[in-house]
């Protein structure tokens, strides 16, 4: 069931999203060679709690942390670990959610640790830009497929591939609401986009093939071919005046 939010509800949700965005920014600023992923997670966790919010991910289906931190060929859902030390040249994807006012804000971005290769930089730039292109396509009266097809075309034209097994999602009082928001698809197909819909758009884009596998830890998702992957996510609202990025600060 798709839950449409009133303007008043969007205002409440915007506060949760601002906290999620602040946590992402703070955690991203902590990314540096020599720092552990547990340290980065701690920054996100503390930011959320300090702002009176709840770390949405912590305990979600048993997930043990406030954020997911995925390095290089890890696509998503990397579990923070004090023994996992970030190295110069790594790309570090951080995904973090905050619950506040009874609403969830969900966002992610990939950060560079020290100097990264031009190819890695290009992957991050294209993935981020594909998110903004997908957001532009999220207009009332359009369809879910308009978003995914835009992201897919943008990334594939530039030689990258789109992970299929995981998608964006509706978001509101809980992290995962209807509809599913794939990063691939056909223009004009799928659920109709309506004012008041709030969705998380989150392209997961690979340098090599689209294939992924899950590690035995039950969470970490990696590329099959060991090549790099990047991930950017915003929570947005669809309004009569166009898409509004709620996790933009
Ligand atoms: N942000 C992720 C998503 O959109 C959620 C991470 S999974 C969790 O699905 F278990 F860590 F919360
Ligand atoms: Co999400």
In the predicted model, is pLDDT for residue 249 greater than 90?
no
Pocket of ligand 1 (CB under 6 A): 57, 60-61, 63, 68, 77, 95, 97, 106, 169, 200, 202
For residue 47, the CA-to-ligand 2 centroid distance in Å is 19
For residue 155, the CA-to-ligand 1 centroid distance in Å is 23
Mean pLDDT confidence for 203-220 = 98
**Atom number, ligand 1, closest to the C-alpha of residue 107:** 1
How far is the C-alpha of 144 from the C-alpha of 105, rounded, in Å? 20
Which helix (H) or strand (E) is 162 found in, with range? strand 161-162
**Atom number, ligand 1, closest to the C-alpha of residue 67:** 11
For residue range 16-32, list pLDDT tens digits in order. Answer: 999 999 999 999 999 99
Domain segments of the chain: what residues? Answer: 7-245
Please name which ligand lies nearest the alpha carbon of 60: 1
For residue 233, the CA-to-ligand 2 centroid distance in Å is 7
How far is the C-alpha of 121 from the C-alpha of 41, rounded, in Å? 23
For residue range 182-211, list pLDDT tens digits in order. Answer: 999 999 999 999 999 999 999 999 999 999
pLDDT at 180: 98
Q: In this structure, how many other beta carbons lie within 10 angstroms of the beta carbon of residue 246?
A: 26
Q: In this structure, how many other beta carbons lie within 10 angstroms of the beta carbon of residue 226?
A: 10
231: β partners: 204
Question: pTM for the full model?
Answer: 0.98
Instruction: Give 127-133's long-range contacts (Cβ < 8 A, gap of 24+).
Output: 127/155, 127/160, 127/203, 127/205, 127/230, 127/231, 127/232, 128/230, 128/232, 129/154, 130/154, 130/155, 130/183, 130/203, 130/205, 130/232, 131/201, 131/202, 131/203, 131/232, 131/233, 131/234
In this structure, CATH architecture of domain 7-245: Alpha-Beta Complex (3.90)
For residue 84, the CA-to-ligand 1 centroid distance in Å is 20
For residue range 42-55, list pLDDT tens digits in order. Answer: 999 999 999 999 99
């Amino acid at each position: 069931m798709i839950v449409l939010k009133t303007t008043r509800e969007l205002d409440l949700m915007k506060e949760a999203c601002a906290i999620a965005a602040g946590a992402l920014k703070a955690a991203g600023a902590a990314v540096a060679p020599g720092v552990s992923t547990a340290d980065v997670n701690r920054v996100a966790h503390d930011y959320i709690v300090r702002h009176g919010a709840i770390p949405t991910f912590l305990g979600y289906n048993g997930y043990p942390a406030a954020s997911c931190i995925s390095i290089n060929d890890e696509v998503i859902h990397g579990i923070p670990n004090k023994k996992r030390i970030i190295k110069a040249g790594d790309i570090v994807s951080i995904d973090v959610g905050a619950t506040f006012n009874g609403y969830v804000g969900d966002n992610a971005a990939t950060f560079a640790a020290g100097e990264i290769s031009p190819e890695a930089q290009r992957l991050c730039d294209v993935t981020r830009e594909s998110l903004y292109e997908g957001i532009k396509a999220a207009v009332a009266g359009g369809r879910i497929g308009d978003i995914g097809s835009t992201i897919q075309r943008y990334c594939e034209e530039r030689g990258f591939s789109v992970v299929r097994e995981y998608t964006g999602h509706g978001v509101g009082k809980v992290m995962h609401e209807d509809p599913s928001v794939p990063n691939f698809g056909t223009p004009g197909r799928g659920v109709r986009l309506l004012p008041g819909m709030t969705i998380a758009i989150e392209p997961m884009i690979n340098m090599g093939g689209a294939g992924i596998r899950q590690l035995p830890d039950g969470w970490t998702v990696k590329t099959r071919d060991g090549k790099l992957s990047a991930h950017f996510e915003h929570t947005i609202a669809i309004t009569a005046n166009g898409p509004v990025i709620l996790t933009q600060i």
